[in-house]
Amino acid sequence: MEFDPFLVLGVARDSDPADWKRAYRRLAMRWHPDRNTDPLATERFKEINAAYEQLTTADDPEVVDEDYRAEEAPESEPEPSVEKAADIRLNIEVSLEEGAVGCRKAIHYSRGKPCITCDGSGEAGMSRTRFCDDCHGSGRVHDANRTLVRCTACGGRGLFTERICPDCGGSGRDADDVNLEITIPSGMLPGDELRLVGQGEPGDDERQAGDLYLTLIIRSHPLYQLSGRDLQFSMPVSALAMMAGAEIELPSPGGIFGYALEAGVVERRHVCLPGKGYPGRGKHKAGDMLVELVPQFPRKLNAKQRKLLLQANAALLDDATEAMPEIADWRAAYIAN
């Protein structure tokens, strides 16, 4: 079968390069393999490329090589890029817990769409006439020498006749409200972007739709401070729990977990828990949890608590050499004698 580039692009034989380009863009966007799941899309796209290339490179576009076939186009030739409509960029805000474990979010935004009244042309309805702003309807203006000359803005007519669409004001576009429900993957950090292909400004015969880019914002948290993927916070702990080495509960975005304190001196402690911070994503590992433990002493005791503490104190003094050597040494030096 003869390969006819005019037939492939669907243009007349007396068409010009501008017609070829418009037809090529329309067909390339329709048959691009990334957008068309038809099994024949790849071959059709190659055929369109070959037809356009042959018309634009031939000395005489009417002369077509009868032996040329679409399948003969080399596989290594780069595919021409298809123009895109404008992208839309928005921010999306989540809590720290939502960002850590992932979530579903509803978003609402506006984008353009062709005006229904004028079908995107910007012209509709009855014609109307308006005076030229430059000559105020006279068709004449003064030149540098104060001589009346023909107005170049209106060609001397003094007025313009136009058919501006009343619904879109001549822009050819209307606002289109969009509601989407999207998935926020776990482990995204502030400033990370999500790309929603084809959800930007809509395309047309010559352009594919733009994309929607969502930039993540994580709200400030009353407890955690996020530093990279590390989570930092401060926590009050009973001084008695520090002394005895009790197990305490630590919060995390994924839930509560237990942590056993080392028995010892009552003082501020800094605990690092590897991998317990903000979750990892891709090649990035989970961060650490950095906790400052602040000892708290009782401010008021009831009778039962006072009795128990006195019993504990007596038990400590019975073995003061091991439990409280400073007191044992002081008593040995100043009381035993």
| Between residues 272 and 50, the one the model is more confident about | 272
pLDDT of the residue at 65: 33
DSSP 86-112: PPEEEEEEE-HHHHHH-EEEEEEEEEE
Residue 265 CA to residue 304 CA, distance in Å, equals 25
Structure confidence at residue 133 (pLDDT): 80
> For the chain, which domains are there?
5-72 (1.10.287.110), 84-110+177-219 (2.60.260.20), 225-296 (2.60.260.20), 308-334 (no CATH)
Backbone Cα Rg of the chain: 39
Please give the average per-residue pLDDT across 253-274, as a whole number.
91
Report residue 66's pLDDT band, with 50, 70 and 90 as the boundaries: very low
Indicate the pTM of the whole model: 0.56
150 has pLDDT over 80: yes
Q: Which of 66-80, 117-131, 193-207, 309-323 has the lowest mean pLDDT?
A: 66-80
* Of 178, 136, 125, residue with least CA distance to 160: 136
What is the predicted pLDDT for the residue at 96?
95
Task: Quickly count: other Cβ atoms within 10 Å of residue 58's Cβ.
Answer: 13
Handedness of CA 267, 273, 276, 277 (dihedral sign): positive
Contacts of residue 282, Cβ cutoff 8 Å, sequence gap at least 6: none
> CA dihedral defined by 226, 232, 234, 237, rounded to 10 degrees?
140
> Is a pLDDT exceeding 50 seen at residue 1?
no
